[in-house]
Chain A
């Protein structure tokens, strides 16, 4: 009897204790997850999600920027970081589960995709009374809008233009001051490089395991005067301009001036850094890549202005603009806005640009002295930069465009066939959403 009572007591005690511990743990976890201060003296904490941050950036945040923010606001910042490759999943699952960081970094095409689903807070009221609004390039600031509302503030522009290896151009007898200005000149340079150097395929069109070919094609499309969508919102890549742009890109592969087998796998030296190619459409990351993997050649990475298309006219290109937004479910929107504006302030944005490898989105940062190896031409390219359409399906669409470009460079169809099929796919995607 005694034994049985004792056993029952032990089971109950064990069960009760386990439940108690579990409940205490859950309550403690719930308490810890709230970023909103309940009492006046409770420490204020806010979360910041970064993508692709390197150790230099994290060091600067830990040792300089975030202590300064704490001194200014009294709030601590919890930094979360992951790579760009899984950024969208991270944001999506965060938004779905209500755990999206208060302030989140986001890429070019992610703004509209998530803003359309209500994941981000509209910043319209904050922006109205923000003194810094006029310090940003209007086009860059506009890139953070969706459906007429401001959802994100830009902090870095990866402006694309034509980049070259000066030492390889020199081998072909081409001076760095005679860089091509239009498509005809660009093609002629590739032909000259092929005939006068040992380069088997002097031009690289950005083929990678991501969307590099799409990025190159988009620049050509804009240079040809084309656009992704027509006035009625239908895909218009198979327009005369689109076909001209794709035919131009395909001609490099048909003439053996570019090699469809060369694919940048996303890590390590790019073909421009290794010297497999002497000309490509890229951004400031080309310089950073050379500084990292082939430092002696970093000074040979030079940029020309964006090209103008077949009918001449203004040069055109695209910038990939990264931004910060605020979670729609943040418990402390004012503090989140305070952190956001702190990060994009004139001094801090310089550091972000420097560590993340991009150009400024602020018009009041004309000098690029703070960025290593940036020439005036690289910075000047921003003047001609447009952006991809703010379509909520652009993440999906850009993948489809990239796959079609993979077909095109391998000669699996004519430009018209490939782009017509692509238009149809894009329209289906847009209709389904």
Chain B
């Protein structure tokens, strides 16, 4: 139990107890003053738009004429169309697929970089470079790469005796192609995070496991992974949430097709807003996506954090 005493500080001026509340008030004011710009900015760019989206989701609005109150009709309309559930399925397939493959790859590369390898800094820069390019630019390059007639990948596959693959125009490969491109784009960022996590694992723990006779695989599973849990949680949650917001890749590479195979929730929101001119429905989709993002984020944190505690 902590007891409070009125002990003067070892150095500095003695502050009379009667002056402390005044000082605390001043400190509080200063804290509020310093934090308020950040709160104002967050309020303007996040809270107000979110509240506006919730309000608009309850209206029929086309941006030009005034909004008309419709209650929950937009939500009912969206939830009862098959397309919405197709987009949810596609979005989850993308987010889960990207993280399932991407995490293994990022971990493998970061383990490799964690060793002393010749030209390691150069490789790290190389692997991070795609992250610096915009999704649109990367998607256009991948369009050329995946071209079933002129693309280098097709030439390689056919040189090896394989048959032509219509990466982006076949429903069974279109989403996989977008996942591959997205992993390539994001890998460097997550490799750097995981590398930082790997380098923060205490060496004495590894040494102790070695002394106990644990092989390299067991050391990795039972010592390294648990020791970098915080970083892993951050990587999984962040990457998954990015995945839930996928739009640009599908917009540029497939236009949401073929036959809605790559149409995501954000794509549906875009279509509702700028193709159908239903800003109310688009806002309803946005609110549901927000709920999905928040729900997934909390669930992932509970699952991933809870397992080790």
Contacts and interface: CB of A to CB of B under 8 A. Distances in A.
Interface string B71-109: 000000100000000000000000000000000000000
Interface in A68-120: 88-89, 92-93, 95-96, 113-114, 117-119
Contacts of B143: 265, 267
Contacts of A118: 64-65
Interface string B267-285: 0000100111110000000
A429 B281 CA distance: 13
A93 B259 contact: no
Interface string B137-174: 00010011001111000000000000010101111000
Contact of B277 (A92, A208, A209): A92
Given A395-B275, A410-B258, A93 B149 contact: no
B262 to A, nearest CB: 10
Contacts of B297: none
A429 B276 contact: yes
A276 interface: yes
B254 to A, nearest CB: 6
Nearest to A209: B255
B245 interface: no
A213 B125 CA distance: 43
A113 B64 contact: no
A113 B275 CA distance: 10
B275 A399 contact: yes
B260 interface: yes
A207 B169 CA distance: 10
A191 interface: no
A18 B150 CA distance: 58
Contacts, number: 75
Given A92-B274, A429-B276, A406 B257 contact: yes
Contacts of A268: 144
A274 interface: yes
A276 B259 CA distance: 23
Interface in A184-211: 207-210
B131 interface: no
Interface string A422-433: 000000010010
Contacts of B147: 265
Given A260-B169, A403-B259, A119 B277 contact: no
A432 B70 CA distance: 12
Nearest to A213: B257
Contacts of B260: 403
B63 interface: yes
Contacts of B278: 432
Given A267-B140, A396-B275, A92 B258 contact: no
Interface in B236-271: 253-255, 257-260, 271
Given A92-B277, A274-B149, A117 B169 contact: no
A16 B119 CA distance: 56
A73 to B, nearest CB: 29
Contacts of B177: none
Interface residues of B, number: 31
Which of B65, B147, B257 has the largest count of A CB atoms less than 10 A from its CB? B257
Which of A89, A114, A265, A274 has the largest count of B CB atoms less than 10 A from its CB? A265
A95 B276 contact: no
A292 interface: no
Nearest to A118: B64
Contact of B257 (A92, A209, A429): A209
B258 to A, nearest CB: 5
A406 B258 contact: yes
Contacts of A396: 275-277
A117 B149 contact: no
Contact of A403 (B257, B274, B276): B257
B62 interface: yes
Interface in A379-399: 393, 395-396, 399
Interface residues of A, number: 35
Interface in B4-36: none
B169 A263 contact: yes
B169 A96 contact: no
Given A93-B63, A261-B166, A429-B276, A274 B259 contact: no
Given A92-B274, A261-B170, A429-B276, A117 B62 contact: yes
B62 A88 contact: no
A96 B166 contact: no
Contacts of B168: 263, 265
A407 interface: yes
A417 interface: no
Interface string B43-72: 000000000000000000011110000000
B65 A88 contact: no
A412 interface: yes
Contacts of A274: 149-150
B76 to A, nearest CB: 12
A395 B149 CA distance: 31
A174 interface: no
A421 to B, nearest CB: 11
A262 interface: yes
A118 B62 CA distance: 11
Contact of B149 (A207, A276, A399, A429): A276
B148 to A, nearest CB: 6
Contact of B148 (A89, A261, A267): A261
A113 B258 contact: no
B259 A92 contact: no
Nearest to B65: A117
B169 A262 contact: yes
A89 B274 contact: yes
Contacts of B275: 88, 395-396, 399
Contacts of A95: 63-64
10 contacts: A209-B254, A209-B255, A260-B258, A261-B148, A261-B164, A265-B253, A267-B143, A396-B276, A410-B171, A432-B77
Given A114-B64, A265-B143, A395-B276, 18 more contacts: A88-B275, A92-B274, A95-B64, A113-B277, A117-B64, A118-B65, A208-B255, A209-B254, A261-B148, A262-B149, A262-B166, A262-B169, A265-B168, A267-B140, A274-B150, A393-B276, A399-B271, A432-B77
Q: Which 10 A-B pairs have the closest CB atoms?
A: A209-B255, A261-B166, A96-B63, A117-B64, A263-B169, A396-B276, A261-B169, A406-B259, A89-B274, A265-B143
